[in-house]
Every structure is written in structure tokens, then in C-alpha cells.
Amino acid sequence: MLNIYPVRAFKDNYIWVIHNQHYAAIVDPGSATPVLAYLQQQKLQPIAILNTHHHNDHTGGNVTLLQSYTMPVYGPANENIPELTHGLKESDVVHLSELSLDLAVLDIPGHTAGHIAYYGGKSLFCGDTLFACGCGRIFEGTAQQMYASLQKLASLPDETLVYCTHEYTLSNIRFASAIDASNPALAQRVIEVEEQRKHDIPTLPSILAIEKATNPFLRCNQSAIIHAANQHSRKILSDPVSVFTEIRKWKDTF
């Protein structure tokens, strides 16, 4: 049986360690120190580093981890990933035989130009693209790319567990509540998340079905979100990409 453990780093990063009793794969190790401590505590042998994109808070631990262990480094083929050994693109599959796990690769540009996600075992490792009740900032791609990437992720099965890499859920929910105040599923989620954070419990992983019911960036074709975007922009936005673009800008200044 696999465990997926959130190793905390920096202010709000989670480094996901996928492991059984003996072996581990490390997703987006921005810092090596807490990962090394967890591996040693659990007596785990790491077999792979899986990077979703090039930002240092996701790759900064690669070099130091490789000073202690020999293993492949997977990541997007079109980004500068430290110590990359296996460049990946859409439809590639990462075989982690020691964990009996295959992860399909999805291209999800927007946050960065070459951002990828890993999906397998009903779990999605999506870096900084889809967040719990939110989505990442658009740094290198376009709003249209980001919207398409989110739609691609939303098409996965409802029971998919969403392992993003930042504890942003509470602030995301506050924004979502401001523009989707009449959503009962969102109101319930506010209560649950506030309780979790009060006790310093991670709000992740999320469940994709809950994201589709509460995440405004996945609901740009819904009347409440369209109305909020129109009110904020003071013009008529008729298509989902325009609505997405408006609420993404709004979130940046919220």
C-alpha cells in the first residue's frame, strides 16, 4: 500500500513523498533538508525525483538530494530543471516499478511555459496549476493556456485526489466566497477548512469533485461566476476564457 506524505518546506510548500515500506518518490523537492530527515526517519530509499516545473521552490533540493542518493530526475523537457535526466511531455509515462505505480504525464502550461502534471493511482500531482479552490498565477503562459490546462485536469475522474504544492486553501476560499457567495458546497467547505487550519492540519489532498463544485476557476461557465466577473469588469464577458481571465486578474489584487 502506498502512502503520500506532505513534507513541509518554507512558508507553505508541501513536498509530496510517495512511498511504501521501503522506497520513495519525491515530488517537487524545493528544499532537501526536510526530505532527507523524513527519508532517514522512515528508513526509505528514494528512487526518483519528480519535478512539475522549474521554479526554485520546487527544484531547489535536487542537487543536494543527489549528493546523498543516486536516482533519476524527471521533469518537463522544455524547462531548465537541475540535474534533469528524463525530460517529459504529454503522453509519456513514468514507471516506478518499486512502488508498482505508473504516472501519466500531462502538459499543463500557464503558470510556466512547460509545466507538467503526473497522474496515476487516482492521484494527481499538479504543482502550481490547480490549487484547492484556486489556481496558480500566470507567469509565462497565457490565460487561454491556463484555462485549457485547468479544463484538462477537470476532465479527470471525480474521485481523483489533488496533490498541489502550496497551502493556499484558506485564502483561496475567501476569494471564492466573495464571488460565489450563494454556493452551499462552498459555504460548507469554508467551515471545514477553517477548522483544519485552526489545528494546523493540511487541507490537501483535495478531491476533484469538490473542486468542480467550489473552485471558481473551474466554474467559469456558471452564472454566478459570470455575473461576478461582469460586475467586476463592468462589461459583458460572454465566453469562459474571458471570465477566467477577469477573475484571475481579480484574485491577484484581492
Label the pairing between strands 206-207 and 86-88.
unpaired
**Which of the following is catalytic: 19, 54, 57, 180?**
57
Backbone angles phi, psi at 129, to 5 degrees: -95, -65
C-alpha span between 203 and 192 (Å, rounded): 9
Is residue 53 part of the annotated active site? The answer reads yes
Residue with cell 469562459: 240
Our answer to whether residue 239 is catalytic in this structure is no
Residue 140, helix vs strand vs coil = coil
22 as an active site residue: the answer is no
For residue 252, indicate whether it is catalytic: no
For this structure, is 55 an active site residue? yes
CA angle 159, 131, 194 (to 5 degrees): 90
C-beta of residue 175 within 8 angstroms of C-beta of residue 214:
no
CA atoms 209, 123, 26, 217: torsion sign: negative
Q: Any idea which residue has 503520500 for its cell?
A: 4
SS3 7: strand
Give dist(CA 142, CA 57) in Å, integer.
Answer: 22
Q: Which of 19, 28, 54, 111 is catalytic?
A: 111
128 is catalytic: yes
Residue in 53, 54, 107, 180 annotated catalytic: 53
Q: Are 58 and 127 in contact (CB under 8 A)?
A: yes
Catalytic residue selected from 19, 54, 115, 166: 166
Exactly one of 54, 55, 115, 180 is catalytic; which is it? 55
Which of these is catalytic: 28, 58, 115, 180?
58
Task: Please give the positions annotated as active site.
Answer: 53, 55, 57-58, 111, 128, 166
